Structure 1
Amino acid sequence: MRLPNVKIENEKGELIQTSSLLDAKTPMIISFWSTTCKPCIRELNAINDQFVDWQDQADFRVIAVSIDDSRSASKAKAMASGFGWSDFTVLYDKNQDLKRAMNVNLVPQVFVVDADGKVVYSHTGYNPGGEAELLKEIIKLKK
């Protein structure tokens, strides 16, 4: 599976194409989350806590995709800011187009996508420590 190209809202409220996330150099962790999903938030906070250390081992980006609808989007923006996810690209999938295109049924769902847009790993759910698996997958992609 490849990263589908759909429109999604960025932090500024602008619609962007998901294809614009690809740069042919840097792999990504794409994490789907919602404001009501406690495991989602725990996983993203765990990744955030280790992000700087992980960057010493591999260059990658984290894309946090909120699946909250337009009524909850402002809460999602406040949460992302409050948790200090400033190293992440936070996107808002208010119409759930990306969620549907990537067959996400439950959150948290996390994908590792290589620099060319190919999905190389995914998992659903979160167990503390499970985020280490994501780093292993990113390191495998080093060229």
Structure 2
Amino acid sequence: MKALTTIAFVFLSILVFGQKSIPSAEVKTLDGQSVDIQEYAQNGKITVISFWATWCSPCKKELDAIADLYDEWQEAYNMELVAITMDTQRALAKVKPMVESKGWPFVILSDANQVLRNALNFQTIPQTFLLDQEGNIVYTHSGYVPGDEYELEEKIKALGK
């Protein structure tokens, strides 16, 4: 019995202390205003952070697919998506017109200086992070193939319970 209690304690400790929270990092709005990503990550909502770029075809496909489901997800799960472009300072002029033409309904931010990307230590995009209501990273996914949005929805649904 003592061994079982010890195993249970270790497992729960890993669950509680093994979660990584989103780091404090400065990103910018498309109007150039600086914001800390934690303002979005620690808002009491389930938050999806998706890193993308205008030149990344799979990124745009992922965000298009999520945009089709976004209103439903917001209503059902009290969640928010923040799409963070990795476009360079020079390429940022393309972002706003593209977002407007796509009609993406989510928050769009820029990490042109790659501060957040470096803090999260990932290499490829699209890169998606799912955060719980306290801002802890509970799931991450790299790349996109059609249908990945439904896997993400299942993860969101599990958090919303």
TM over 0.5: yes
- Identity within the alignment, %: 36
Aligned length: 142
The list of structure 1 runs, each at least 4 consecutive aligned residues, that deviate by more than 6 angstroms after superposition, is none
* SS of match in other structure, 2:54: coil
- C-alpha distance after superposition, 1:5-54 (max 9, x if no partner): 11110132100111111344201111000111000000000000111222
Match of 1:48 in 2: 67
Match of 1:36 among 55, 64, 70: 55
- C-alpha distance after superposition, 1:45-64 (max 9, x if no partner): 00001112223421100000
- Structure 1: gaps spanning 5 or more residues: none
Distance 1:80 1:61 in 2: 17
1:84 corresponds to 2:90: no
TM-score, length of structure 1 as denominator length: 0.93
CA contact (8 A) 2:29 2:109 kept: yes
- Structure 2: gaps spanning 5 or more residues: 1-19
CA contact (8 A) 1:29 1:61 kept: yes
Match of 1:129 among 117, 125, 147: 147
1:66 corresponds to 2:85: yes
Moved more, 24-33 or 37-46: 24-33
1:25 corresponds to 2:44: yes
Moved more, 103-112 or 14-23: 14-23
RMSD: 1.2
Distance 2:134 2:90 in 1: 34
Question: What letter matches 2:77 in structure 1?
Answer: A
The structure in which a higher percent of residues are helix is 2
TM-score, length of structure 2 as denominator length: 0.84
